[in-house]
Amino acid sequence: MPKQIQVNGFAIFSPVHLSPGLWRHPDDRSLDFDTLDYWTDVARILEAGKFDSIFIADGIGIHDVYAGTADAALRSGAQIPKLDPMLLVSAMAHVTEHLGIGVTAPVSYEPPFTLARRFSTLDHLTKGRVAWNIVTGYSNAASRAVGRDNIMPHDPRYDLADEFLDAVYALWEGSWDDEAIVVDPIKGVIADPHHIRKVHHHGAHFKVDAIHLAHPSPQRTPFLFQAGASNRGKDFAARHAEAVFLGEHSKARTAANVAETRARARAFGRDEHDIRFYALTTAIVAETRVAAEAKYRDYQRYIDPKGSLALLSGWTGIDLSRYSLDDPFPTVKKDNAVTSMIDSFSRSERPWTIREIIEHNGIGGRGPVIVGSPAEVADELQAWVGETGIDGFNLSYAVTPGGYQDFAELVVPELQRRGVYKTEYAPGTLREKVFGTGRARLPLSHPAASFRPSAAGRTPKAASA
Ligand SMILES: Cc1cc2nc3c(=O)[nH]c(=O)nc-3n(C[C@H](O)[C@H](O)[C@H](O)COP(=O)(O)O)c2cc1C
């Protein structure tokens, strides 16, 4: 069977995600973002198109780097207002049966115990369809919002994330045995204390001494998404991630990232195919190429350059108001930044000016914008998969939910005709749908497995920490 292309819908709980200004387009429903009807419609559209999952971006900082204030972000609605995506999961799960639902949650602002409990709750309520996009956070604004000083330096943030994961793995994998729930009405017993143990994690950043409050959920550890692409970020992904989300504009940079992360996963003793790679992409599709190009030109008229600059400054930590639009993208090393994004613009195959980046990023962010008929879009998607080693696409949009709907109605049938896209969902949890039946839980080669009590009944790793 030819390699099957996977697709994830990329979203945010805000009126503006990666296409600032497009909320003004008559076909766009972004302003309904604060209604459950909008999100249940999106979930149904994605499931009708047999998307593997939706991934909701998040971050608790406002974009306030441009001109040293949040004004540009506030005026353009550049990811503000922004609501809490965890609270959407149950509603979307309730109207779907198969769609994986990924939510972003940072490791920097709350204890592992409370986050582990919320994800276990969602894993139960979704019947094993929840995913966690693990982020360290990159913004000083977020850090200050929760009473901290500026954000920690870049690499130590990943050390903290490694420790956070040790603690949540111990709670998810090690606190309750599968046999712990007994429900014996005769004896009046619900759970057997012999099969439940306290986690003791005493690390540099976190301390946990507790029994996990949630009984074992279908996946135990939620399906793990990650999107860091720096040197340290790739190590982190190689160790923990099951799906890596890439945001590159070129096939060459994408291919290099995939190869490097897979090699590191092998070095950590994991099977390199236990990580799926998704490339950020926007498809603008219509029945004919001419119609698709007209659509693209129409969307471009709505791009809001100030909104784009607010986002770019926020992500890179560089105040772009200090530069002319025709300057090349500056190469400044920042700690409050997505450092891989600075590299991708400044150390690219060719130098990008700020104006070019706005024009490119203004619709759908950093990934490619593929414009054409269904056959042309399918050709280009297959070329990306063939030339880069990715497994699929993280689909952004110009207008929502129309961008997803066009893809589901025009591109998906074309990919199905070519035999490279599922016609039915696989049964089971999200992990089983992606990796196969019998894989509801993480494999033994994943670091989380070391926190399980072994078959021989040895003490699990964190309990002896
Ligand atoms: C497609 C994509 C989606 C991302 N989504 C988020 C997000 O929702 N929240 C966040 O804080 N960071 C997000 N990031 C940033 C990364 O998670 C990571 O923090 C960032 O890339 C910095 O790490 P790095 O320097 O290792 O790349 C995203 C990155 C990419 C490429």
54-80 residue pLDDT tens: 999 999 999 999 999 999 999 999 999
Residue 283 confidence (pLDDT): 98
Cα distances (angstroms) measured from residue 199 to each of 9, 167, 202, 432, 464 = 36, 8, 10, 27, 9
Per-residue pLDDT tens digits for 241-271: 999 999 998 999 999 999 999 999 999 999 9
137 lies in some domain: yes
| Residue with CA at minimum distance from ligand 1 atom 21 | 228
208 phi, psi to nearest 5 deg: -130, 130
How far is 33 from 46, CA to CA, in rounded Å? 16
Residue 347 confidence (pLDDT): 67
370 lies in some domain: yes
How many angstroms is it from 70 CA to the middle of ligand 1?
Answer: 20
Residue 305 confidence (pLDDT): 96
Does ligand 1 lie within 6 Å of residue 104's CB atom? Answer: yes
Number of structural domains (the chain) is 1
For 209, other C-beta atoms within 10 Å of its C-beta total: 10
Range of the domain at 379: 6-163+208-300+364-446
170 lies in some domain: no
Residues 6+ apart with CB under 8 A from 5: 381, 382, 385, 391, 392, 393, 415, 420, 421
Nearest to 264 by CA among 288, 304, 295, 231: 231
Does ligand 1 lie within 6 Å of residue 8's CB atom? Answer: no
How far is 387 from 258, CA to CA, in rounded Å? 11
Residue 460 confidence (pLDDT): 53
How far is 325 from 354, CA to CA, in rounded Å? 5
Does ligand 1 lie within 6 Å of residue 137's CB atom? Answer: yes
Residue 351 confidence (pLDDT): 79
Nearest to 235 by CA among 315, 165, 162, 333: 162
**Alpha-carbon torsion (283, 288, 291, 297), positive or negative:** positive
DSSP letter for each residue of 125-182: HTTS-EEEEEE----HHHHHHTT--SPPPHHHHHHHHHHHHHHHHIIIIISB-GGGEE
145 phi, psi to nearest 5 deg: -65, -30
Does ligand 1 lie within 6 Å of residue 340's CB atom? Answer: yes
Per-residue pLDDT tens digits for 223-245: 999 998 899 999 999 999 999 99
How many angstroms is it from 246 CA to the middle of ligand 1?
Answer: 9
Confidence band (pLDDT; 50, 70, 90) for 463? very low
Average pLDDT over all residues of the chain: 94
How many angstroms is it from 181 CA to the middle of ligand 1?
Answer: 38
Can you say whether residue 183 is alpha, beta or left, with left for phi > 0 and alpha for psi between -120 and 50 degrees? left
- Residue 119, domain CATH: 3.20.20.30
Residue 458 confidence (pLDDT): 47
| Residue with CA at minimum distance from ligand 1 atom 28 | 227
**Residues 266/256, Cβ–Cβ less than 8 Å:** no
Region 124-148 average pLDDT:
93
125 lies in some domain: yes
Q: Global pTM?
A: 0.95
For 165, other C-beta atoms within 10 Å of its C-beta total: 21
Does ligand 1 lie within 6 Å of residue 314's CB atom? Answer: no
Does ligand 1 lie within 6 Å of residue 228's CB atom? Answer: yes
Per-residue pLDDT tens digits for 406-446: 999 999 999 999 999 999 999 999 999 999 989 999 999 99
Nearest to 278 by CA among 1, 29, 10: 10
Does ligand 1 lie within 6 Å of residue 247's CB atom? Answer: yes
Does ligand 1 lie within 6 Å of residue 394's CB atom? Answer: yes
Does ligand 1 lie within 6 Å of residue 139's CB atom? Answer: no
Nearest to 23 by CA among 11, 35, 15: 15
How many angstroms is it from 229 CA to the middle of ligand 1?
Answer: 8
How many angstroms is it from 185 CA to the middle of ligand 1?
Answer: 48
Does ligand 1 lie within 6 Å of residue 245's CB atom? Answer: yes
Can you say whether residue 185 is alpha, beta or left, with left for phi > 0 and alpha for psi between -120 and 50 degrees? alpha
200 lies in some domain: no
Q: Which residues of 75-87 are buried (b: 16+ CB within 10 A; e: fewer)?
A: ebbbbbebeebbe
Confidence band (pLDDT; 50, 70, 90) for 203? very high
Region 280-288 average pLDDT:
98
Nearest to 272 by CA among 391, 159, 164, 163: 391
Percent of the chain predicted with pLDDT > 90: 86
172 lies in some domain: no
How far is 8 from 17, CA to CA, in rounded Å? 15
75 lies in some domain: yes
**Residues 18/361, Cβ–Cβ less than 8 Å:** yes
Confidence band (pLDDT; 50, 70, 90) for 403? very high
Cα distances (angstroms) measured from residue 100 to each of 103, 131, 182, 429 = 10, 7, 29, 8
Does ligand 1 lie within 6 Å of residue 138's CB atom? Answer: yes
464 lies in some domain: no
Which atom of ligand 1 is nearest the CA belonging to 278?
1
75 phi, psi to nearest 5 deg: -60, -45
**Alpha-carbon torsion (66, 67, 69, 75), positive or negative:** negative
Per-residue pLDDT tens digits for 331-389: 877 666 677 787 777 766 677 899 999 988 999 999 999 999 999 999 999 999 999 99
